[in-house]
């Protein structure tokens, strides 16, 4: 049989048997799964934003010794637990979960031009909620002025953080979202679920498609470069399934597959266009059944501490950090796994979307 064909001299990682199947059997990381497009060291200031899985990434980066930037710090004297209750230290900024590309473009646009920000507020029981991050202030803001002062601080932190950092890691979470049909304001959650009141004549459901995601990513890169021309982007896709879907007639399982497929395809194509944009396959590592690992907790949504540790082992291996290729089950350094396990056990991972499940009527 002739060997003169495109498959005759491919590296081992191009074949399932010698890459995925062999690593799954040995309990090791997949060789050459991620080969970074640009250098990234532990000294590079890194920002993280996005869905709830982004919290795992930021926590793991800290435990692995990387320079994770908390660009918006809590007031002096606030203990760690209370600070997290008020949205500090979860992401690089006090934004809450940023589930969609459309939400991120909105925030970056306001950071570039604070005068352009939407003025909508949600009044509730003599307090006020910010419709783009209704859960960051437990009990709500006491005045409208306080609400916008807090938002101003976040927008300033975003601008300052981008100016002073090297890499922006964004975890894409959802394609589904809600918009004010009159103003175009993108909400972090459907009005009436975590605050505000739903108005069917005003609040429009949207499900972003491939061209929408690509256009948003182009805009995000341009916005980041307006603040810091040297900023690099590292994209990931959250493996966490949808808690609920608003797509009429759709099952949440197929809606999840559709949403993640669109995000993954758009992120993959976008990173191929620019040398300063990369993609890290955390989604594939967690969700592919070929790896034969128990990646989810009993709720089938939350990623286990071992799963996050396994993801970060691939991250470290890609960067050439020594020891990352050892069997994960026998790894000597369990700091990442231990930190994530403690956070999960303490319910310290903030996932605003899961609040939708309280509207689920169990009909069993």
- SS3 of 13-67: the string is HHCHHHHHHHHHHHCCCCCCCCCCCCCCCCCCEEEEEECCHHHHHHHHHHHCCCE
State if pTM tops 0.75. yes
Phi/psi at 53 (5° precision): -65, -25
Question: Which tokens go with 275?
Answer: 């040398």
- Can you give the pLDDT of all 364 residues of the chain as single tens digits? 556 899 988 999 999 999 999 999 999 999 999 999 999 999 999 999 998 787 878 887 888 899 999 999 999 888 988 998 999 988 999 999 999 999 999 999 999 999 999 999 999 889 999 999 999 999 999 999 999 999 999 999 999 999 999 999 999 999 999 999 999 999 999 999 999 999 999 999 999 999 999 999 999 999 999 999 999 999 999 999 999 999 989 999 999 999 999 999 999 999 999 999 999 999 999 999 999 999 999 999 989 989 988 998 999 899 888 544 444 443 434 554 555 455 555 445 455 555 556 666 655 5
Crossing angle for the helix pair 210-227 and 252-271, nearest 10 degrees? Answer: 50
Q: Are strands 232-237 and 167-172 parallel, antiparallel or unpaired?
A: parallel
Question: Which tokens go with 290?
Answer: 């070929």
Q: Are strands 232-237 and 277-279 parallel, antiparallel or unpaired?
A: parallel
Q: Which sequence spans correspond to the domains of the chain?
A: 42-293
Cα 30 to Cα 41: distance, rounded to the nearest angstrom: 21
């Amino acid at each position: 049989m002739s060997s003169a064909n495109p498959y005759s001299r491919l590296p081992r990682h191009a074949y399932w048997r010698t890459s995925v199947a062999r690593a799954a059997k040995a309990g090791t990381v997949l060789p050459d799964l991620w080969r970074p497009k640009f250098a990234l060291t532990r000294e590079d200031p890194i920002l993280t934003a996005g869905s709830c899985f982004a919290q795992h990434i930021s926590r793991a980066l800290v435990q692995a010794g990387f320079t994770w930037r908390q660009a918006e710090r809590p007031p002096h004297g606030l203990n760690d637990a209370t600070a997290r209750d008020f949205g500090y230290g979860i992401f690089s900024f006090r934004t809450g979960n940023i589930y969609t590309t459309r939400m991120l473009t909105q925030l970056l646009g306001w950071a570039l031009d604070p005068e352009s920000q939407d003025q909508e507020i949600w009044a509730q029981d003599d307090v006020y909620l910010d419709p783009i991050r209704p859960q960051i202030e437990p009990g709500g803001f006491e005045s409208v002025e306080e609400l916008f002062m807090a938002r101003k601080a976040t927008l300033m932190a975003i601008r300052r953080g981008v100016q002073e950092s090297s890499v922006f890691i964004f975890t894409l979470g959802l394609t589904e979202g809600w918009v004010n049909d009159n103003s175009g304001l993108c909400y972090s959650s459907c009005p009436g679920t975590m605050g505000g009141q739903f108005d069917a004549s005003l609040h429009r459901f949207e499900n972003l498609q491939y061209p929408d995601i690509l256009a948003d990513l182009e805009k995000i890169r341009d916005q980041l470069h307006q603040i810091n021309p040297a900023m690099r982007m590292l994209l990931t896709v959250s493996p966490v399934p949808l808690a609920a879907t608003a797509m009429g007639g759709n099952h949440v399982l197929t809606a999840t597959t559709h949403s993640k497929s669109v995000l993954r395809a758009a992120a993959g194509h976008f990173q191929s266009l620019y040398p300063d944009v990369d993609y890290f396959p955390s989604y594939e590592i967690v969700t592919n059944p070929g790896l034969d690992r128990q990646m989810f907790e009993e709720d089938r949504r939350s990623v286990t501490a071992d799963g996050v540790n396994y993801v970060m082992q691939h991250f470290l291996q890609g960067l050439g950090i020594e020891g990352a290729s050892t069997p994960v089950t026998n790894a000597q350094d369990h700091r990442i796994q231990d930190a994530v396990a403690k956070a999960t056990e303490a319910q310290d991972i903030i996932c605003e979307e899961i609040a939708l499940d309280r509207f689920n009527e169990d009909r069993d």
